[in-house]
Amino acid sequence: MRVDHQKLEDYRQAYGAWQEQLGALHRVFLDGERMEPPKLKGLLNREARAKERYDAARLALLGLDGALGSDGPFANVG
């Protein structure tokens, strides 16, 4: 399987960034680390954005980057 090196690098970077945010989230929710509500909200937002970037990079790496868009084959699935 041939892999576009830029897409692979984007994927690895997005995955690493998401894992970093997810680790911080786990420290709060699973390990009991205390965090002020405004900081927790920011952490939740950062994790969500990192996950979105990871999902997009994963789809691009797999060649499915347009599949979930408004013109993709799954556009009318509800």
In the prediction, which pLDDT does 71 show? 56
Q: Which two tokens stand for residue 35?
A: 């965090």
In the prediction, which pLDDT does 6 show? 95
Let me know if residue 69 belongs to a domain: no
Let me know if residue 32 belongs to a domain: yes
Let me know if residue 67 belongs to a domain: no
Q: Which two tokens stand for residue 32?
A: 């009991």
In the prediction, which pLDDT does 78 show? 46
Let me know if residue 71 belongs to a domain: no
Distance CA 22, CA 67 (A): 26
- How many domains are there within the chain? 1
* pLDDT beneath 50, residues of the chain: 77-78
Let me know if residue 76 belongs to a domain: no
Let me know if residue 74 belongs to a domain: no
Angle formed at CA 51 by CA 26 and CA 27, multiple of 5 degrees: 10
Distance CA 38, CA 45 (A): 11
